[in-house]
Amino acid sequence: MTAICIRPIEVQDNPFVEALIKSVFDELDLPKTGTAYEDVSLKTMFENYNVENAAYFVLEKEGKIIGGAGVAALENPSNGVCELQKMYFLPEARGKGFGTQLMGICLEKAKTVGFKSCYLETLPEMKDAQKLYVKSGFDYLDQPLGSTGHTSCPIWMLKKL
C-alpha cells in the first residue's frame, strides 16, 4: 500500500508547491496572465498561509507533493467570506477522491475559524474541477467577489458554510 497523507504545508514545501501549480498550468495550457500562475505568493506559500484564519494543505505520496489546496479570507471586502485557493493536483492524484477530501478539510477549517461562505474562481477549461465544486454545494455567481487579481478566471462560485 502506498503511503498518502494530507498535512499542513511546511516551509520546505514552498518550491515543490510552486512547481506543482505551474506544471498544471503548463500541462493544461491554461492562461498564465491574470491567474494564480503569476501570483507572487507562489514562492512563499507557507508564509502566506501561516497566518490567522488561513491554512494550506498538501497531498503527499511517498515524500512527493502531488496536490494541494488552501483557504484564506477573501480580500476586499471579505465580510465573513473565505476563498478556496490554489487547489491543484498532478495527473496521478486526479479522479481518486482526493479533491473532495482536501476541499472538505479546507471548508472545515473555514467553518472552524468563523467564515460563513466560501468563494472560488476557476477557468472554463477546468471542467472536472467545476463538477467537483457543484457536487460539493458551490453555486455559480454572475459576477466576482473581492479583489483576487485573477482577471482571467471568469467562473465564480460560492458555497454557504
66-101 pLDDT, tens digit per residue, is 999 999 999 866 679 999 999 999 999 999 999 999
Mean pLDDT calculated for residue range 133-144 = 95
15-25 pLDDT, tens digit per residue, is 999 999 999 99
- What residue segments make up the domains of the chain, in order of their start? 4-160
Of 108, 119, 113, 126, residue with least CA distance to 141: 119
Q: Tell me, what's the pLDDT at 77?
A: 64
| Average pLDDT over all residues of the chain | 92
- On the question of pLDDT at 130 being above 60, the answer is yes
Q: Tell me, what's the pLDDT at 152?
A: 83
Superfamily of domain covering 4-160: Gcn5-related N-acetyltransferase (GNAT) (3.40.630.30)
- On the question of pLDDT at 1 being above 70, the answer is no
In the chain, pLDDT over 70 holds for what percent of residues?
A: 97
List strand residue ranges (DSSP E) for 95-144, in order.
Answer: 117-122, 139-140
Q: Are 56 and 49 in contact (CB under 8 A)?
A: yes
